[in-house]
Amino acid sequence: MKLAIIGSGYVGLTTGACFAEVGHDVLCVDSDQAKVKSLRGGSVPFYEPGLEAMISRNAALGRLRFGESVAEAVENCLALFIAVPTPPHADGSVDLHYVEKVAREIAGSLREYRVIVDKSTVPVRTGEKVAQTIERYSKQKAEFDVVSNPEFLREGSAIADLMNPDRIVIGSSSERATAIMKEVYGPFRTPMLITDLNSAELIKHASNSFLALKISYINMIAQICEASNADVLLVAEGMGLDRRIGRSFLQAGVGWGGSCFPKDVSAFIRIAEELGCEFRLLKEAASINEEQREHFLKKIREEIWLLRDKTIGLLGLAFKNNTDDTRQSVAMALAESFLKEGAVVRAFDPKAMAKAEQLLPKLQLCSCGEDVAAGADCVVVATEWEEFRDLDWLAMKKRMLSPLVFDGRNLLDREKMAAWGFSYRGVGR
């Protein structure tokens, strides 16, 4: 089927590539001319494992094209997926102007039946507004349906998540649109849940907030473990064996970050408020998340006293492993705090250094993980990159002023670190 994706960022580009991979004919549109140019030249503006190869394979087969014109997309493609940003306003509510603009652009070119599919994360009832907008601005009064199809991919494993999702949610009350969506997703052979438009929109916010809540819960348990000499890894394992709870998203750490959880949790609190429901539980999850970072910083200050004129070796800048994305990264927030308190920060991240440098030019970027240890008063693990486990920790110890390691992700082997002579502090143990 001929499909268009409007907005070729993390979600749009990866979704477009995966649709092409299963045989659809895909046009990825973006308003950023420089981005379109570089995509046409075969380079992907961010790091996502496997994406560049998938794009070049499908582009070579002629199944994946890039453009700037929404009008071209509307003219040629039966289903138009909207994957533009939905950033937060200062008060936490969602800025929907990108979505609204695309709706008006689609309306301007609509001449025959099209399915307009919202993939951006939006407040419940946005689909209704999109439909009203298209209706209002469409001159030809052509038929169309608006569908909600929220996206659940995680950065760093986006292709695997898209090719093999847990579920596909389709919010539509139109049989015609639902049949088209079933055809689009036919090749994925995954459970499909068909709901009304509003429920589908809510499923996205309810899911993200629940996951953030789960992490805040285990982070609070981690604080209780520290105060009671218990081990959060064992507690999480014991809880996770209960299939009703499950082990995933019970990894205690320095808190959740990224382009989604912080903004979506704030948005959901505001959405609930506007609907007359105070979401106290979620407000608490957000404040536990802030506290968790502060709690970690306090632990570092307790050990090394003042940060001023100290050198901190920082492992990790991305908001999680396998990505170069530093948006709302807790590792970056920690780096900023260290710098503000007068420390020198020697940092390394396998993929996020270029983006981090733009945001925090005072960082001393190192050429490998081991290098952060040179002259360091302590090393902090802030992002869960697996490869940090395999660094030459003994060589690093020799280069440090004192063998102190704060593992904000419980990534390293505590027993090994102790045997190698490190003073090691994890989270919740």
Ligand X SMILES: O=c1ccn([C@@H]2O[C@H](COP(=O)(O)OP(=O)(O)O[C@H]3O[C@H](CO)[C@@H](O)[C@H](O)[C@H]3O)[C@@H](O)[C@H]2O)c(=O)[nH]1
Ligand Y SMILES: NC(=O)c1ccc[n+]([C@@H]2O[C@H](COP(=O)([O-])OP(=O)(O)OC[C@H]3O[C@@H](n4cnc5c(N)ncnc54)[C@H](O)[C@@H]3O)[C@@H](O)[C@H]2O)c1
Known binding-site positions for substrate = 152-155, 204, 249-253, 257, 320
Q: According to the binding rule CB under 6 A, does residue 46 interact with ligand X?
A: no
Residue with tokens 């045989």: 23
Interface mask toward ligand X for 315-334; x: CB under 6 A:
----xx--------------
Q: What is the largest CA-CA distance in the chain?
A: 75
> From the list ligand X, ligand Y, none, which binds 249 (C-beta under 5 to 8 Å, kind-based)?
ligand X
Residue from the set 19, 47, 66, 261 that interacts with ligand X by CB under 6 A:
261
Catalytic annotation present for 368: no
Q: According to the binding rule CB under 6 A, does residue 109 interact with ligand X?
A: no
Tell me how far apart the alpha carbons of residues 413 and 273 are, in angstroms, rounded to a whole number: 44
Supply 289's token pair. 């998340």
Q: According to the binding rule CB under 6 A, does residue 152 interact with ligand X?
A: yes
Nearer Cβ to ligand Y, position 66 or 424? 66
Tell me how far apart the alpha carbons of residues 177 and 195 are, in angstroms, rounded to a whole number: 12
Tell me how far apart the alpha carbons of residues 330 and 383 are, in angstroms, rounded to a whole number: 8
Nearer Cβ to ligand X, position 156 or 313? 156
Helix (DSSP H) and strand (DSSP E) numbers for the chain: 16, 14
Supply 153's token pair. 């991919």
- CB 257 → ligand X: shortest distance, Å? 4
Size of the site for ligand X (CB under 6 A): 22
Nearest alpha-carbon partner for 157 in 346, 327, 404, 322: 322
Nearer Cβ to ligand Y, position 32 or 291? 32
Tell me how far apart the alpha carbons of residues 152 and 116 are, in angstroms, rounded to a whole number: 19
Nearer Cβ to ligand X, position 310 or 355? 355
Nearer Cβ to ligand Y, position 25 or 68? 68
Residue from the set 81, 98, 256, 348 that interacts with ligand X by CB under 6 A:
256
* DSSP string of 188-223, one letter each residue: G---EEEE-HHHHHHHHHHHHHHHHHHHHHHHHHHH
- 18, 260, 366, 378: which one is catalytic? 260
By CB under 6 A, name the binding residues for ligand Y. 6-12, 29-32, 35, 83-86, 98, 101-102, 120-121, 151, 153, 155, 259-260
Residue 185 host element (H or E) = helix 175-185
- CB 257 → ligand Y: shortest distance, Å? 12
- Using CB atoms within 10 Å of the CB of residue 118, give its burial: 0 to 12 exposed, 13 to 18 middle, 19+ buried: buried
Active site residues: 260
Q: Which residues bind to ligand X, rule: CB under 6 A?
A: 121, 151-155, 208, 211, 215, 249-251, 253, 256-258, 260-261, 264, 319-320, 384
